[in-house]
Amino acid sequence: MTEHRADREKYRKQEYWDDRFSTEDAYEWLAGFDQIKELLCSWIKPDDKILHLGCGNSRLSFDLYDLGYKHVTNVDFAASLISRCKEQYGSSHPEVSWLCSDIRNMSALDDGSFDVVIEKATLDSLLVAEKSPWNMSDAGRQDLTSTLGEIARLLRAGGRFVSVTFAQPHFRLPHYAVDDYGWSCETRTLGTNFHFFAYCMVKGRPLDRTLVEPFLYAVRSAQREASRSPSPVHCADGDGDDNADWLKSIEVFEQ
């Protein structure tokens, strides 16, 4: 079901999530663990210190825990959720920790304190009010830049940022493939009828611009075309309209 952009803005608001988490036990956005497990486990190690951004009531950290990835810090800005999880899982999952924080400013966490940072549809939620993925607003760009800067700060040398998202490479790579972050970029396409995407950035590894330049060129070309024509520019790949309501399909997997 298509949601109006104004209605989708609720996903950015803390009060929406506090209210939702008060009645909802668990929910998986975008993809279930079985759909990403093989790839995710190829990018992380059991002894890694893992930061899960925008954990919500996802089972991801528990699925990882059951596979031996026990050192997970879950971050969310919904205080009621974090408080409940500390009480509910503190004894059964002692290595897992919970932190209430805005992902755009995680000052409570030290520089270089994590081997892996994982987000699954959290950045999609942060950007859900954007009118067009081709031309991000100044506010959206600032939110994303602040979050990515925090991720780069928190990663150790050789650490990996893993992003699982609905955003296609020509929309997300212009923001990930930035020299200032000091990391490389790798992209994978997942799913069958519904495609989603996984990115792995490795801190300290050089960015190969030959891999990302075709995607950057697509964005620049679309922006030039949009400036010459009042009609919206679309990028069709069989998954729907990416220029209008581009996050409408993100809520597709529910347990």
Q: What is the DSSP string of the chain?
A: ----HHHHGGGG-HHHHHHHHTT------S--HHHHHHHHHHH--TT--EEEET-TT-SHHHHHHHTT---EEEEES-HHHHHHHHHHHTTT-TT-EEEE--TT--TTS-TT-EEEEEEESHHHHHTTT-S-SSS--HHHHHHHHHHHHHHHHHEEEEEEEEEEES--HHHHHHHH--GGG-B--EEEEE-SSS-EEEEEEEBTSPP-HHHHHHHHHHHHHHHHHHHH-SSPP---SSS--SSSSTTTTS-----
Percent of the chain scoring above 70 in pLDDT: 84
Percent of the chain scoring above 90 in pLDDT: 59
pLDDT digits (tens, 9 = 90+) for 210-239: 877 887 777 677 667 766 655 444 443 444
pLDDT digits (tens, 9 = 90+) for 29-40: 888 999 999 999
Q: Under CATH, to which class is 5-228 assigned?
A: alpha beta
Among 85-94, 103-112, 151-160, 179-188, name the one with the lowest average pLDDT. Answer: 85-94
The domain spans of the chain are 5-228
pLDDT for the residue 248: 46
